[in-house]
């Protein structure tokens, strides 16, 4: 199987790429290294890594038309700065639309996407949140642009799976509370811990589930979480 991974040098994408390569699949990765790291992926005869942006439509069209993947795994996302609406829009909306359009144009069989739980808003109407909960992504440009991309995918006609994620932790994690605490402690700064509780999932568990989706398991939207909340203090 041939798999095209956007954001393939990031935490989630690189683990998926490794597992695909381990079982013999051919992998093409694109990553602009905004949050990914090239060293996350070692050289492999069945791996090609392109350092560029999915906002470049001509490049995306060229890569997908030449490679002709069976599956696209779309992990690329802009989220570093909550006030950077431009880059969120360029990567999450424009870049996402480019990848979805190319998937349709070049008849990609399956598309795997990753949505943020912020699509339900900061104050969900129900706890735990059911999959049918209305989307209220008005709290951040990240949530708005990620949800717009999921909406594009839903009307595309593609065979797709979208995972609405809890907090992903594990090796190569560069975002979220744990890396922030580590950085502050490394710099001799204090950490401020609130009473907030989060659902944490391990990145390799997610990657294994994504491989099942690549192989044809499931369709549409799914929650991916542990089902348990843990306080940040714990």
pLDDT of residue 227: 77
- Tell me phi and psi for residue 69, to 5 degrees: -70, 150
Q: What percent of the chain has pLDDT over 90?
A: 67
pLDDT of residue 83: 80
pLDDT of residue 74: 99
Query: For residue 190, is the peptide bond before it cis, meaning its omega torsion is within 30 degrees of 0?
Result: no
**Strand partners for 114:** 163
Question: What residue segments make up the domains of the chain, in order of their start?
Answer: 2-231
Tell me which residue has tokens 């909960």: 133
Alpha carbon distances (Å) from 127 to 226, 227, 228, 234 = 14, 11, 12, 21
Residues 6+ apart with CB under 8 A from 127: none
pLDDT along the chain (234 residues), means of 10: 98 98 99 95 98 98 99 92 86 96 98 94 88 88 93 96 90 72 72 71 96 98 84 64
Encoding tokens for residue 130? 């059911």
Answer whether 206's CB lies under 8 Å from 168's CB.
Answer: yes
pLDDT of residue 208: 98
What CATH number is given for 2-231 in this structure?
A: 3.40.50.720
pLDDT of residue 54: 98
pLDDT of residue 231: 62
């Amino acid at each position: 199987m041939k798999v095209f991974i956007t954001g393939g040098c990031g935490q989630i994408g690189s683990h998926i790429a490794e597992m695909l390569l381990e079982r013999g699949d051919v992998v093409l990765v694109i990553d602009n290294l905004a949050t990914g790291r090239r060293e996350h992926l070692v050289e492999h005869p069945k791996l090609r890594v392109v350092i560029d942006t999915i906002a470049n439509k001509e490049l995306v069209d060229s890569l997908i038309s030449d490679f002709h993947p069976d599956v696209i795994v779309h992990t690329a996302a802009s989220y570093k700065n909550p006030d950077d609406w431009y880059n969120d829009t360029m990567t999450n909306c424009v870049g996402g639309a480019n990848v979805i359009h190319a998937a349709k144009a070049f008849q990609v069989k399956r598309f795997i996407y990753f949505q943020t739980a912020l699509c339900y808003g900061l104050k969900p109407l129900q706890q735990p949140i059911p999959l049918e909960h209305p989307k209220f992504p008005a709290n951040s440009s990240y949530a708005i642009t990620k949800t717009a991309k999921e909406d594009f995918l839903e009307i595309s006609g593609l065979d797709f799976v979208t995972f609405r994620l809890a907090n992903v932790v594990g090796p190569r994690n560069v975002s979220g509370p744990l890396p922030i605490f580590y950085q502050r402690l490394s710099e001799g700064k204090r950490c401020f811990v609130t009473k907030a509780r989060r659902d944490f999932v391990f990145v390799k568990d997610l990657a294994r589930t994504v491989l099942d989706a690549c192989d044809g398991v499931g369709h549409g939207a799914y929650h991916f979480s542990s089902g348990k909340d843990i306080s940040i203090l714990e």
